[in-house]
């Protein structure tokens, strides 16, 4: 089934930023959505906005670091809509800081969310896709997966891992499954505010305010990958501001 209309799409990290923009964009294209995030108040508001515009969406509190949460998210898609066509793995953690800060709890969190969260999504959805005979993994990485800069060593390491895992998944997927990695550059979200290092936070926020592009730019890239014919795998998309070096 090509196109977006009618497809059942799970989105993690759907309560804000790229996840929220993707939910709104895909709902406008006729996708049936299953939304997961930790902030249920924001999820509830998002579902109401989608339904007011005539779209279909359900939500459940989801922490991607918990395997049982990812299993419940995928199960909700099947219970409500009978199948799962696309898993958009958008949930991420970007608490960046210099290694000298020794913020090991934040390092652990980035590994848990960015890497283990991806694996939990594969664990939950891959058997469903195999049983159906089709399915599509779309995972958000970062341009940090291509270029490492100071204060982003651990974050970039997790995003390098995302690209590696997704490429391995693509090679193992066979002819019936699709695997897409989308790597955004600076996007107009609250990414900068996650850092607990004030100087890093100020630097990243300044770059965002100068050159960032809106989250909808990434949403459109995700829709492009989804709408391709079943035999076409758009395996990697990089979405960055023209001003990004």
Dump pLDDT digits (tens) for 53-84: 999 999 999 999 999 999 999 999 999 999 99
DSSP-H helix ranges across the chain: 17-28, 40-52, 67-81, 104-110, 117-132, 153-173, 198-211, 215-226
In this model, does residue 231 exceed pLDDT 90? yes
159 within domain boundaries: yes
pLDDT of 11 above 90: yes
CATH number at residue 150: 3.40.50.720
How much is the pTM? 0.96
- pLDDT of amino acid 84: 98
Neighbours of 206 (CB within 10 A): 11
Angle of CA points 233, 235, 239, to nearest 5°: 125
Classify residue 239: in a domain, yes or no.
no
Name the active-site residue from 81, 129, 137, 155: 155
Region 142-150: what's the mean pLDDT?
96
> Is residue 1 scored above 80 in pLDDT?
no
Summary mean pLDDT of the chain: 96
Task: Give the pLDDT mean for 197-202.
Answer: 93
Q: What is the pLDDT of residue 98?
A: 97
Local confidence band at 245 (pLDDT 50, 70, 90 cut-offs): confident
Mean pLDDT check: name the lowest of 13-17, 90-94, 96-100, 200-204. 200-204
CA nearest neighbour of 206 among 219, 193, 222: 193
Nearest to 195 by CA among 115, 113, 110, 111: 110
CA distance 90 to 167: 17
pLDDT at 149: 94
Query: Residue 104, Cβ neighbours under 10 Å: how many?
Result: 9
**Residue 160, Cβ neighbours under 10 Å: how many?**
17
Q: Is residue 22 part of a domain?
A: yes
Residue 3 lies in a domain: no
The arithmetic mean of pLDDT across residues 132-137, rounded, is 97
Asked about 2 being catalytic, the answer comes back as no
pLDDT of 124 above 90:
yes
Q: Is residue 240 part of a domain?
A: no
Q: Is there a domain that residue 236 lies in?
A: no
Lowest-confidence region among 27-41, 49-63, 187-201: 187-201
Query: Residue 36: what pLDDT?
Result: 98
Whether 183 maps to a domain, the answer reads yes
User: Which residues span the domain enclosing 146?
Assistant: 8-230
Instruction: State the Cα–Cα distance between residues 89 and 114, nearest whole angstrom.
Output: 9
242 has a pLDDT exceeding 80: yes
pLDDT at residue 198 is higher than 90: yes
The total domain count for the chain is: 1
Report if residue 243 sits inside a domain: no
């Amino acid at each position: 089934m090509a196109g977006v209309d009618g497809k059942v799409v799970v989105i993690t990290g759907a309560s804000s930023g790229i996840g929220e923009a993707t939910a709104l964009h895909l709902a406008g294209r006729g996708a049936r959505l299953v939304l997961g995030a930790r902030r249920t108040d924001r999820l509830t508001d998002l579902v109401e906005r989608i339904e007011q515009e005539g779209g279909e969406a359900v939500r459940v509190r989801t922490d991607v670091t918990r395997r049982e949460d990812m299993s419940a998210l995928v199960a909700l898609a099947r219970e409500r809509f009978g199948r799962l066509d696309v898993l958009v793995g958008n949930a991420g953690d970007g608490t960046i800081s210099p290694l000298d800060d020794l913020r090991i709890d934040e390092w652990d969190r980035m590994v848990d969310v960015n890497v283990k969260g991806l694996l939990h999504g594969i664990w939950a959805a891959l058997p469903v896709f195999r049983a159906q005979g089709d399915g599509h993994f779309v995972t958000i990485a970062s341009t940090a997966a291509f270029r490492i800069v100071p204060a982003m060593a651990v974050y970039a390491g997790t995003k390098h891992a995302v690209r590696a895992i997704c490429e391995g998944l693509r090679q193992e997927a066979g002819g019936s499954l699709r695997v897409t990695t989308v790597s955004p550059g600076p996007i107009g979200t609250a990414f900068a505010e996650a850092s607990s290092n004030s100087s890093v936070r100020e630097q990243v926020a300044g770059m965002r305010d100068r050159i960032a592009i809106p989250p909808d730019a990434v949403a459109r890239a995700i829709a492009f990958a989804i709408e391709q014919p079943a035999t076409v795998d758009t395996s990697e998309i990089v979405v960055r501001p023209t001003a990004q070096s």
